[in-house]
Structure 1
């Protein structure tokens, strides 16, 4: 069992990172005494961690998780309300924006991200989970997109991705009532892809991360981006990339290694070149 050891966080919390197998970046929410309630510092450090994942050529996949019993109770409103009222960004410009909304001034994430959530997973936690490429939930989760209870718009992607994954009716059911729902309902709505026992959560996420890290990195990135292009810009835009992207990948060292591994009947050893 993988058990990351967090540092003692400051009162406003922090984001801890740890490299696993020289290729996987564990990104941990570290404010368990406050149920990982989000603060401006945590938003900044999360964006810095996502940017590190993209910028470090040795890293191939990220895993977002949390320390303590709960993923997050959502925004620590007294600490962030002034930013919301003034319309100030909680994430510095120029970094990778973890909500993956394509906002001006921010970079789009290139490498895959797995979210592993447990316990309470409210508001911003759901939105970060939906912004990841794959989400795994512990069987003890409680979810709620409760912004309407606080006169706030769920502007981190919930209004987009809940309807995309579950259909308009299911999205409205949870967005407009601010109800609480469990892991089984999250799975039914396709908000998460797997539900596992809480004790197995991080190891299950790392098993998936290792499978992804073993693939050809350029092909993983290209495949991920093509899926997103189809969702955001339509099928024709994604299809237009098939030819040029395929030619670029076919000319890579990893493509040659893939052919050798096939002929020699062995696992490929990809370098990302």
Structure 2
């Protein structure tokens, strides 16, 4: 039997989510997309999971969509691959993800790979990574969020420079424009991403989720909407067990071990 195209592993409070189609440079077919959505659903539903870490098996993160498999599946309403137990990893439809995602990329990172970065919260790239938002060279447009998030993340001109030409760019350029937050030596991207994921997972999960939700609210609905939710969120958090644990750790100068309540 062949291995599943998405591998999941629990590492403490972190869910590792691995693209596992290395023989095709992790190009996404329908099965891979569906299983990726299910993994995100697992991350969202399980209260013991606090952070997701998306990575890829093999030399490449992803060569993008497997159009030979997915092309015939694009109907009048577009492409649907998320069932009732899944969550759209690109966060352009359906249930919003409430937990943070760290992503580690290497090798080739095309189209939906960049859009996964844009839908995640922190990205680490291997120095040798090559990026490309190449949909226009295939006669389609980015439909996983790049038209929305790329300009916000890196500025209009930087985003259009690559969305409209389909040109490739390297990890240094990705870091310069702000697409990725760290560049490490080839082969070190997973370990560094895991360090960051575990660092997040060690914090109070309700507070992490509240901070993430408020930042997303500001992006989606504007500053005023996010500002209106700050004090109510603070009141809810102050009454939590984790807030008590955090205060005790501060007063006793010990390390807080949060419980998510």
TM-score range, shorter chain: over 0.9
Contact 1:94 1:107 in 2 (8 A): no
Find the counterpart in structure 1 of residue 181 from structure 2. 193
Find the counterpart in structure 2 of residue 249 from structure 1. 237
**Among candidates 134, 152, 175, match of residue 164 of structure 1:** 152
Residue 29 of structure 2 corresponds to residue 49 of structure 1: no
Find the counterpart in structure 2 of residue 206 from structure 1. 194
Deviation of 1:85 (Å)? 4.5
Contact 2:38 2:85 in 1 (8 A): no
CA distance in 1, matches of 2:117, 2:160: 18
Find the counterpart in structure 2 of residue 223 from structure 1. 211
Find the counterpart in structure 2 of residue 271 from structure 1. 259
Contact 1:113 1:132 in 2 (8 A): yes
Find the counterpart in structure 1 of residue 227 from structure 2. 239
Instruction: Indicate the SS of the match to 2:31.
Output: helix
Q: TM-score, normalised by structure 2?
A: 0.97
Superposition RMSD in Å: 1.2
Counterparts of 1:1-273 in structure 2, within 5 Å, are 8-9=2-3, 14-20=5-11, 22-86=12-76, 87-93=78-84, 95-101=86-92, 103=93, 106-273=94-261
CA distance in 1, matches of 2:171, 2:79: 33
Deviation of 1:93 (Å)? 4.8
Query: How many pairs were matched up?
Result: 260
CA distance in 2, matches of 1:121, 1:146: 10
Deviations 1:186-231 (A, max 9, x none): 1111111100112211110011011101100000000001001011
CA distance in 2, matches of 1:271, 1:257: 9
CA distance in 2, matches of 1:199, 1:173: 29
Deviation of 1:69 (Å)? 0.1
CA distance in 1, matches of 2:80, 2:88: 11
Deviation of 1:160 (Å)? 1.2
Instruction: Indicate the SS of the match to 2:187.
Output: helix
Contact 1:83 1:90 in 2 (8 A): no
* Greater CA drift, 135-144 or 80-89: 80-89
CA distance in 2, matches of 1:83, 1:91: 13
Could you list the runs of 5+ residues in structure 2 that have no partner in the other structure? none
Cα 1:150–1:85 shift into 2, 3 Å: farther
CA distance in 1, matches of 2:63, 2:126: 16
Deviation of 1:44 (Å)? 0.7
Deviation of 1:169 (Å)? 1.0
